[in-house]
Every structure is written in structure tokens, then in C-alpha cells.
A and B are shown apart, each in its own frame.
Chain A
Amino acid sequence: MKKLAKIPLIALLAVLGFFVVTFTIYFFNLDMKATSLLAPYLQKWYDKMEHDHYL
């Protein structure tokens, strides 16, 4: 019974934790900052690919 009573509390903490983490990422634009660090490596990946040029 005690365990059951804890479920709403755990759910609330999970929602709160999700909100704090995602809102921090959102507000400080951490998603786009991380992506912009990744972009140069992806650029190199695409540059290395062989392409069949046809005009």
C-alpha cells in the first residue's frame, strides 16, 4: 500500500525532472549549440563521399 502511495510522487518527480532538464536545454539553446559542434564533422563525412557526376 505504501509503495502504491509513492507512485504519484515518483511520477511527479519524473515529470519535474523531465521539465527541468528539457527546459534548460531549450532555454540555453543547448540542442542547437551541440548540433553546431557536430556539423563540421558531418560536413567532412559528406565531402569524403564519392559521387557520380553527370551533366
Chain B
Amino acid sequence: MKTVEKVVNPVKRAGEQSPGKIYDEKLKVRRRREWRGVKDTFYDYTRWLYLMSVLGRFIIVPRNIKGFFRYRWMMSYLFVPHGMDKFTVGLRDEALRIAHTSFNFVIADVTQAIANCFRGDRRVGNDKAYSDKCVITDENSMVTFMMGFDTDKVHTILREVPTMFASNIFHQFNVMHYLDVAQLNGIAGDVCPMPEAEAGISIDDDFCVLGSCAVQNNTTCDGSLMGNGIIAKRLERQYGIPTFQLATPLRHKEPDVLEYAAEEIKQAIAFVEKHTGEKWNWDTYFAAAKRVNFATKCRIAQMEINSTPYPQFFGAAFSLYNDTNYMGNSGRMPAFVDIDKKLLALAEQGYKAKRMYAKEYRHRCIVWGVQPQYVIDMLYWLVQCWGVVPLTDMLSVINTDMIADEDTPENREQAYRDMAMLNMEMIMRNHTHGGYKVLLDELWELCEKMNADIVMMWEHMSCKALTGMHGMFEEQARERGIHIMWVSHDLCDPRVFTRQAIRDQVNSYMRTVMREEPLDPSLENIPDSEAY
């Protein structure tokens, strides 16, 4: 079997050595916050103050209070600091700053998204003039078709992000109600809980209602299509919001699908123009395209650092930041550029100083498959408990090509193809669709490039897109001498697999197959399965 060189951290971690002690089975939150030494505890405290100020500024607006008491999913946002703490357990120095810089920005962005939803919502803010300039977009859609609309004239509302996706990060039980609603209304229980919860939110009438129109995408699976159908039906028939179906080809590696996909993008843009009354602006588009390219360059640089013995930016924060920047933003907001620069500077600084997340790196790991790592602090746990470094995850392995960013007549035609390519190869869809080459071959190439000896395969119980390839993964990993560690979960339904049940699969593998002892035994069993 393949092995990698062990890297030992010569520097003892400041503050407490066993963060497992901060958990308490009698509480639904942590007993206390972690002592990280004076410097890092003070930094963490100032970031907590910042988060409190973000939440405080949000809730002093009367319509946001109204929205808070109207929508069940808003309860999750009471636990934002708890969710943030989940992604900083055991972190020090640059790693702590990287997690805060990226995740705090995501939180501020989601808070703004909720405020925008409430402003236009017919039940809460009911600002009709604002709502008429809003376009609801699919959570699983890359919003490239909005890149050429001026952000002060047309507002992109990713309604499902604050309602379902982000709310589940802060409170693991909060979408269970919507899963129950969906199943009580006859939706099968073996569908992916993410689109099923979104369908449940629509059935339960718990989505904000706003916008002049909506755009949905046939992403990323059968469950997603089912959920979109239910949501579109209510949007169109009950609320009179016309909904465009952006039919994106699944075989995105085949060159002959590109023209069709580009035509679909043109149709989506024309649909938005028709319903908002605003025109596509090529200056706005190419400025956004430059920012998309910059984000791509920064992500490539981060991945290159992660290919060295001293990876810096990984884990849930890396994945979530990429999700927000690449898919939700798509170059539209200039503020991401500064954050990209800051994150890269921190990673380079950490790399030069040879900073490590744990006292020892024993294995280098690629995390593959449909991941639940937002509801659980799994990737940081993996490195600190077992010394297994999660170099990158499947959702962060996305486009590396540059798109046309100079305004010329040829590039205006190329732009449709670029938007189509980005949309076809967006997060999740680029590996779960497109054949075994994108799911299997690219994984082994990545193992080679990043010098990984373990693949942690997330096996999502309700995901049909990946389970069919179980045997091929096993066979090909064996041929290459790579350890493959299967970890089952059911995404956002903690009743099927609790957090500890997920971790126990790794614990068993590391003890029985790898014959190893944990780096930090206080983390092997954590009583947080009932915690928010």
C-alpha cells in the first residue's frame, strides 16, 4: 500500500491540548470556549464580538424581527456562534485566522441574503418595487446568467441558501421538521434530504415569497429535480412567479453539448430581461468575469499549497467559502476579491512558517463523495484526532480554466459558452454527472498530484448518483495501493447517522485496518450528537 512521510510539528500547541474536554453530554452546546493561549483566545474573542455585531445589526431592523417570528428556519441563526466554534476547534495561528476570515465573510453574506429576502417578502417587508427587481435562483445553480446584470438594479436571491443550506450548518435538527412535512405529504423517505427538505419548506409555506421571476436548474440529481418541481408549482400557480427551467446537459465533458448549453444561457438571460425590465450589460459581465478568473487563480494557488507537506486552507471553511464565492457570487460582488487576497496571504504566511493543524500528520487524504461536513466538524476532527490531513474535498475541485474577460465581439459570443461551461461544471454536478471519468479517474489523478495515501469516501445513504460505483472505487483503489475509507451518513438527517456514528466509522478503520492510536484520545468519542 502507498505510504506518505510522517510530518511532526516541532511546536507545541498554545493553550489547552485536549479540546475534547469542552463538550458536555448534558448540554446542547459546548461547556465553554477553548483556551488557545492569550493571543489566539483574544483574536477568537474579537471575532465573536464581530459576529455578535453582525447579528445585532440584523435583528434591530423591525421587519427582520417580524421575519424571525414568522419563519421556523430562522431559529438556526441564534446558533451562529456555536456553528462558528464548530469549525475552529483546535485551531491556532494562521489556521484560526483563515477559518474566521472565510467563514465570517460567508456568515455576513448569508445575513445580507436573509435581509434581502425579508425586504421583498410579501409577508414581511413587502417592498414591491424591490421585489420586482429580484430574481429567485436555485441553490444548486451557479448564477453565471446573472453576471451581466448590474447588482444595484437586479437582485439575485438565492432563497434556498439561508432557508435550508446555511440554517442547517448552525442547527443540525432544524430541517427535520421539513423532512417530516415532505414525507407526510407522500414524498419518499429515501430521497436526498437536502432537496427533500427544500420541498418540505415549500409545502409548509416557509419560503419567503418575492421576486419578479425565478430560474431553476436541473441540478444535481433526481431528488433535486423532484424538489424543484414542487417548488416551481407553488411559485407559478399560487404566487404567480414565472419560473424558467435552465436545462443544463449532464454529459458536460462531451464537446458537442456546449452550443446547446450556451443557447440555454441566452434563453435564461432573455427571460430575466423580460421579467425585470433590465438589460444585460457587457461591461458588468466582463468585470465579473475578471473576478471569476481571479477567484480561480487564488483557488489553484491554495490547492498548490495543499499539495505540499504543509497544507494551509482546507476543511469545511475552504469548501463553504468556495461554494459561496464561486457558485453564489460568480464574480458579481467585488468584496470577495479582497477576501481572496487576504486568505491567500494568510496561507502563504502559514506555509512559510510551516504551520500545522495538529501535532503530527500521518496520512494525506482526499475527501470524495457527497459530503455532510457542514453539520459536523469532521475534517478538522480528522486531522486533530487521527493526524489524517483532508487536503481537499470533491466540492472544492472545480473549474481551473480561465474564461474570456476582455470585451471584444468574439468574446461576447465566447462568454455564453464560458457561462455554460461554468454552469455545467459547477460544484457537485462536475463530479456526480459526466461519467466515471470525472468521478473516478480525476480522483486518482488528484491522489497522485497531491500525494494522498487515503481517500475518505463519503457514502450518502440517499444519494443514487454515487452508490452505483462503490465496487469500481474499491477495485481501482486496490490497484493503486490507496486506502479507501467508507463513511456513511444521511446528509442533513441526523436521525439516520448521528455525528458520533459517523466518526465511529473512521475510528474503527484507523484502529482495525491502520492499527493506529489517536493523536488526541479526548476527541475519539465526543458527546455532541444531541448538540445543535
Report whether A55 and B29 are in contact in the complex, using a CB–CB cutoff of 8 Å. no
Taking a contact as CB atoms closer than 8 A, the residue among A36, A39, A49, A53 that contacts B203 in the complex is A53
Q: Check A12 for interface membership: any CB of B closer than 8 A.
A: no
Report whether A51 and B205 are in contact in the complex, using a CB–CB cutoff of 8 Å. yes
Report whether A32 and B82 are in contact in the complex, using a CB–CB cutoff of 8 Å. yes
Give residues 15-55 of A contacting B (CB, 8 Å). 22-23, 26-29, 31-33, 35-36, 38-39, 42-43, 45-46, 49, 51-55
Report whether A55 and B27 are in contact in the complex, using a CB–CB cutoff of 8 Å. no
Closest A residue to B73 by beta carbon equals A46
Q: Which residues of A contact B31 (CB under 8 A)?
A: 29
Report whether A53 and B185 are in contact in the complex, using a CB–CB cutoff of 8 Å. yes
A36–B202 alpha-carbon span in the complex (Å) = 27
Report whether A29 and B72 are in contact in the complex, using a CB–CB cutoff of 8 Å. no
Report whether A55 and B45 are in contact in the complex, using a CB–CB cutoff of 8 Å. no
A5–B70 alpha-carbon span in the complex (Å) = 51
Contact A53 to B27, CB < 8 A, known contacts A22-B49, A31-B81, A43-B75: no
Closest A residue to B76 by beta carbon equals A39
Q: Which residues of A contact B78 (CB under 8 A)?
A: 35, 38-39, 42
Q: How far is the CB of B106 from chain A (nearest CB, A)?
A: 19
Contact A54 to B234, CB < 8 A, known contacts A33-B27, A36-B532: yes
In the complex, per-residue mask of B243-261: 1 if CB is within 8 Å of any chain A CB, else 0: 0000000000000000000
A29–B85 alpha-carbon span in the complex (Å) = 10
Report whether A36 and B32 are in contact in the complex, using a CB–CB cutoff of 8 Å. no
Q: Which residues of A contact B203 (CB under 8 A)?
A: 53-55
Q: Which residues of B contact A23 (CB under 8 A)?
A: 45
Q: How far is the CB of B121 from chain A (nearest CB, A)?
A: 15
A5–B48 alpha-carbon span in the complex (Å) = 33
Q: How far is the CB of B47 from chain A (nearest CB, A)?
A: 10
Q: Is the interface of B mostly helix, strand, loop or mixed?
A: helix
Q: Which residues of A contact B177 (CB under 8 A)?
A: 46
Q: Which residues of A contact B185 (CB under 8 A)?
A: 53, 55
Closest B residue to A28 by beta carbon equals B32
Give residues 23-52 of B contacting A (CB, 8 Å). 27-33, 41, 45, 48-49, 52
Contact A46 to B29, CB < 8 A, known contacts A51-B204, A53-B203, A54-B234: no
A43–B230 alpha-carbon span in the complex (Å) = 26
Report whether A52 and B205 are in contact in the complex, using a CB–CB cutoff of 8 Å. yes
A33–B52 alpha-carbon span in the complex (Å) = 15
Interface size for B (C-beta < 8 A) is: 33
Q: Check B238 for interface membership: any CB of A closer than 8 A.
A: yes
Q: Which residues of B contact A36 (CB under 8 A)?
A: 27-29, 532
A46–B206 alpha-carbon span in the complex (Å) = 11
Q: Which residues of B contact A31 (CB under 8 A)?
A: 52, 81
A43–B73 alpha-carbon span in the complex (Å) = 10
Contact A53 to B30, CB < 8 A, known contacts A38-B78, A46-B72: no
Contact A29 to B33, CB < 8 A, known contacts A46-B72, A51-B205: yes
Q: Check B271 for interface membership: any CB of A closer than 8 A.
A: no
Report whether A46 and B28 are in contact in the complex, using a CB–CB cutoff of 8 Å. no
Closest B residue to A36 by beta carbon equals B28
Q: Which residues of B contact A43 (CB under 8 A)?
A: 75
Q: Which residues of A contact B82 (CB under 8 A)?
A: 32, 35
Report whether A29 and B75 are in contact in the complex, using a CB–CB cutoff of 8 Å. no
A31–B48 alpha-carbon span in the complex (Å) = 11
Q: Which residues of B contact A27 (CB under 8 A)?
A: 32-33, 41, 45
Taking a contact as CB atoms closer than 8 A, the residue among B28, B75, B204 that contacts A53 in the complex is B204
A27–B22 alpha-carbon span in the complex (Å) = 11
Report whether B45 and A26 are in contact in the complex, using a CB–CB cutoff of 8 Å. yes
Closest A residue to B171 by beta carbon equals A39
Closest A residue to B46 by beta carbon equals A26
Q: Which residues of A contact B186 (CB under 8 A)?
A: 55
Q: Which residues of A contact B33 (CB under 8 A)?
A: 26-29
Contact A51 to B75, CB < 8 A, known contacts A26-B45, A28-B32, A36-B532: no
Report whether A39 and B27 are in contact in the complex, using a CB–CB cutoff of 8 Å. no
Report whether A29 and B32 are in contact in the complex, using a CB–CB cutoff of 8 Å. yes
A55–B231 alpha-carbon span in the complex (Å) = 9
Report whether B45 and A53 are in contact in the complex, using a CB–CB cutoff of 8 Å. no
Closest B residue to A23 by beta carbon equals B45
Q: How far is the CB of B145 from chain A (nearest CB, A)?
A: 28
Give residues 279-319 of B contacting A (CB, 8 Å). none
A42–B171 alpha-carbon span in the complex (Å) = 14
Q: Check B473 for interface membership: any CB of A closer than 8 A.
A: no
A1–B64 alpha-carbon span in the complex (Å) = 46
Q: How far is the CB of B52 from chain A (nearest CB, A)?
A: 8
In the complex, per-residue mask of B104-130: 1 if CB is within 8 Å of any chain A CB, else 0: 000000000000000000000000000
Q: Which residues of A contact B204 (CB under 8 A)?
A: 51, 53
Closest B residue to A22 by beta carbon equals B49
Contact A35 to B79, CB < 8 A, known contacts A29-B33, A54-B238, A55-B230: yes
In the complex, besides A36-B27, A36-B532, 5 extra interface pairs with C-beta distance below 8 angstroms are: A26-B45, A26-B48, A35-B29, A53-B203, A53-B204
Can you spell out 11 A-B residue pairs with CB atoms less than 8 angstroms apart? A22-B45, A31-B52, A32-B82, A42-B78, A45-B69, A46-B72, A49-B72, A53-B203, A53-B205, A55-B185, A55-B186
- Chain B contacts to A: CB under 8 angstroms: 27-33, 41, 45, 48-49, 52, 69-70, 72, 75, 78-79, 81-82, 177, 181, 185-186, 202-206, 230, 234, 238, 532
Q: What are the 3 tightest A-B residue pairs by CB atom distance, in nearest-first order?
A: A32-B29, A46-B72, A36-B28
